[in-house]
Amino acid sequence: MHMMISCSAAILLQRTQIAPYFACDSGGNAGETTKPMLSPVIRFFQSWKRYGLAMQELSQLSDRELADIGITRSDIPRIASQQSHHV
């Protein structure tokens, strides 16, 4: 089965923010919280998902379509990586 992902889906994914699973109370001051422990892990998986979607979308384009936007097939991993880290 071949899934088709639209560009609007990638834009929606970029705008979606996943809330942290928990925030630890620092103990001493009421209302003061530390960074959630899972934030780096969540950001890593979000970035990995954006990379996969960008790779999939660009790989589905023909060589002619890629040439029209000024990239080659060998540029796809680099562009997908840059896109996944750009939030």
Based on C-alpha coordinates, what's the Rg of the chain? 18
Which residues are registered as beta bridge partners of 25?
33
CB 76 within 8 A of CB 57: no
pLDDT of residue 52: 95
CB 8 within 8 A of CB 16: no
Residue 66 has pLDDT above 60, yes or no: yes
Rounded mean pLDDT, 66-78: 95
Residue 4 has pLDDT above 90, yes or no: no
The angle that helices 76-85 and 39-59 make with each other, rounded to 10 degrees, is 150
> Poorest-confidence range of 30-39, 45-54, 66-75?
30-39
pTM: 0.56
- Between CA 3 and CA 62 the distance in angstroms is 17
Give the pLDDT band of residue 1 (cuts 50, 70, 90). very low
